[in-house]
Structure 1
Amino acid sequence: MKVGMIGCGNISAQYLKTFPTLPDVELVAVADLDMDRARAVAAEHEGVRALTVDELIADAEVETVLNLTIPAAHAEIDLRAIAAGKNVHAEKPFAVTADEGAEVLAAAAAAGVLVGSAPDTVLGTGTQTARQAIDDGLIGTPISAVATMMTPGHERWHPNPDFYYVPGGGPLLDMGPYYIHSLVTLLGPVSAVIGASSRLRAERTIGSGAREGEVIPVTTDTHVTGVLIHSSGALSTLVMSFDAVATHAHPIEVHGTLGSLSVPDPNRFDGEVSANVLGSGGWKAVPESAGYVGASRGIALQDMATRGERLRASGALGQHALEVMNAMLESSGSGQRVEISSTLERPEAVPLADVRVSA
């Protein structure tokens, strides 16, 4: 599958490291609003051409567009690529609003092309081993989960953090997809949410790069918490913050009738899963049993290339997570429970496998 990448910013470096290891995927072109940046990337990767965005979308060799633009541009670029007959895989969040995301899915269905959505971290051994443990009944019937992400904000390290502090950003839409994709993979879809949020600072100061010391406005909530009510009956508590400093909590814990499971950071592909089963005497490591071994960002493109419509990191999953996140913000404003209109089957499990080739 020949891929054209739009967006050569910070996150692109992780995808560029992955491409040479994917046996059924080839990067053939890159584009960026800053053509110098696109040319610099192309120069470092043999056989990769630097194109304008318009040229890449129209290019006959490109079968799939990897959309690494800022969140506000995700839907626009996806729709343009779909109209040109391309598959798309978008960075998270899938779009800014649920209506935008629904338009992308409808356009793809009408055009007969595939749509994928980051994060694909859920395809790695961390989340997949935890899922296998749940499916095997290790902790009994799942009752609840707690997912926690605390950081004082990305402006400390990101040289251009503006988009983190406008609608479409914030801790929920930026980091929430990792946790919600994982929770849906573990416990199934969400049917309703109850949310609350706050914004304690109106400004942030950039801490690195050419704009160090510049003050930027904050126009979205920076601490969001709430309850996700899964269709299975399980209840997940989600806490996402750009205001707090740190937490000792496990990134995700799942609690069942027979025990509890510690799930590694969903922003990573691997990590130790541990369980505390009733009567076992404490926490013990769960052997790695499922997922793509050694996976990194972009493994979903391999999944798309080989599985087609059965791709796991799907646009439907990205759209469901987007609806959940926007519903949490809506609930925060109204004080009311919000029902989720979309649903989906849990993405198919990933057997333990290493599909990489030597880079």
Structure 2
Amino acid sequence: MGKPLNVGIIGCGAIIAQYLASFRRLQQNNLINLVAVADLDHARAQAVADDYEGVRALSVDALLAADDVELVLNLTIPAAHAEVALKAIAAGKHVYGEKPLAATTAEAREVLDAAEAAGVLVGCAPDTVLGTGIQTARKAIDDGLIGRPVSATATMVTPGHERWHPNPDFYYQPGGGPLLDMGPYYVSALVTLLGPVVSVIGAASHTRTERTIGSGAREGQIIPVTTDTHVTGVLVHASGALSTLVMSFDAVKTKSPNIEVHGELGSLAVPDPNHFDGDVQLFPLGGTEWQTLPVSAGYVDSGRGFGIADLAGTPQGQEPRAGGTLAFHALEIMEGALKSAHSGQAVPIISSADRPAAVELAAIAREVQTTTTN
């Protein structure tokens, strides 16, 4: 890939630790070079810099102006995703953001249009779809192991993030909720497995108007709930397959696989799309038991940030696998499900996204594994 891609991070909250763990491996493999970090709370940025050799703690403006920063990793809160991305693009930087791409499709469209005009790339989480779990399931579908896909189910059930997150307010405000928070993992996986969506039907509710923070300095504090906390939807794929989505902060636990895909010749149990790996199981037509498939595709032992390394190797003129087009399509699907829930009518999805190119087994991770002891 030539020289490593120089990365600056804006936002040093809890999620940064997972990116830093990946960066330490990818940096040793000459794929990514972390050079600077910034946060509105400078002390948080300084703490990262103190723990990561060669990294400078800067103000946000100084990081955006830094000549050695080629890509900005945007780890700010969702409400700030578009604002920070647009500033980075205006500074001539590539952008990779945490999900969702923006708080609304209108903001997300501004980001993509600005990037196209500036000639820079946009990437966006989740890059979990590049791991061995989703990619092995995709290969099974592409290889015809379940025949023509007919339907899928995707389920995420939890009693709520306030039980563990010390500052969970934004999860329960417009722009939050289980669909916009966790939905990107599931919707991106469904599009990766079954292709783009052309319409969506949704329904939504919330069981409580208040939540109690369960940990941290604000433990016991009551926060209001002003967004839907249980969302269901039916996604109509261009292929004709139908996916049923359930995203909840109101329930407790699900025993079934996070994603199931059903075809004319078999069914697949697909692992949690919030993780990079996990067993893929097949029950073929006429079979008697589930079979665990061998890992056959995806980045082995990958983690958050591998999408940036993948972006760094994207041929000129092509869309990154964890790219802005897929992130925009996923956001429009989720936004459409919420619109449908309140209108009672099906909502057409105007955008489209080709299934990203399949990931060959261990294309990045094999090299990483043999060059690092971290």
TM-score by length of 2: 0.95
> Structure 1 residues 259, 148: CA separation in 2 closer, same or farther (over 3 Å shift)?
same
Residue pairs, 1:241-252, within 5 angstroms: 241-252=248-259
- Following the alignment from structure 1 to structure 2, what is the Cα–Cα distance between the partners of residues 310 and 194? 29
Partner residue in 2 for 1:135:
142
| 2:322 pairs with one of 307, 313, 331 | 313
Do 1:75 and 1:104's aligned partners in 2 also have CA atoms closer than 8 Å? yes
Q: 1:248-327 alignment to 2 at 5 Å?
A: 248-308=255-315, 309-327=318-336
Q: Deviations over 1:265-291 (max 9, x none)?
A: 000000000000011212110110000
Indicate if the aligned counterparts of 1:31 and 1:51 stay in contact, CA closer than 8 A. yes
DSSP 3-state at the match of 2:314: helix
Instruction: Show the counterpart of 1:160.
Output: 167
Give the counterpart of 1:39 among 39, 43, 46.
Answer: 46
**What is the CA-CA distance between 1:168 and the residue it aligns to?**
1.4
Q: Percent identity?
A: 67
Distance (Å, rounded) in 2 between the aligned partners of 1:6 and 1:50: 10
Distance 2:85 2:75 in 1: 10
Distance in 1 (CA, whole Å) between partners of 2:8 and 2:225 is 33
The amino acid across from 1:223 in the alignment is: H
Q: Does residue 7 of structure 1 match 2:11?
A: yes
Residue 295 of structure 1: SS of its match in structure 2? Answer: coil
Q: Does 1:186 align with 2:190?
A: no
CA distance in 1, matches of 2:73, 2:367: 20
Instruction: Tell me whether 1:330 sits opposite 2:339 in the alignment.
Output: yes
Q: Cα distance, 1:311 vs. partner?
A: 1.6
Query: C-alpha offsets along residues 193-213 of structure 1, whole Å, 9 cap, x if unaligned?
Result: 000000111111110011111
Q: Superposed, which structure 2 residues align to 1:57-96 within 5 Å?
A: 57-96=64-103
Structure 1 stretch displaced more, 208-217 or 306-315: 306-315
1:310 to partner: Cα distance: 3.8
Aligned amino acid, residue 247 of structure 1: T
Q: Mind listing any 5+ residue stretches in structure 2 that lack a counterpart?
A: none
Distance, in Å, in 2 between the alignment partners of 1:94 and 1:355 is: 30
CA RMSD of aligned residues (A): 0.8
Q: Does the residue aligned with 1:307 lie in a helix, a strand or coil?
A: coil
What is the aligned partner in structure 2 of residue 26 from structure 1?
33
Pair 1:344-2:353 in alignment: yes
**CA shift for structure 1 position 306:** 1.2
Say which SS state the counterpart of residue 350 (structure 2) adopts.
Answer: coil
Contact 1:115 1:314 in 2 (8 A): yes
SS at match of 2:313: helix
Equivalent-residue separation in structure 2 for 1:125 and 1:311 (angstroms): 18
CA shift digits 1:136-186 (9 cap, x unpaired): 000000000000000000000001111111111100000000000100000
In structure 2, how many angstroms separate the alpha carbons of the residues matched to 1:160 and 1:80?
26
Q: SS where residue 36 of structure 1 aligns?
A: helix
Q: Which runs of 4+ in 1 moved over 3 A?
A: none
Name the structure 2 match of 1:98.
105
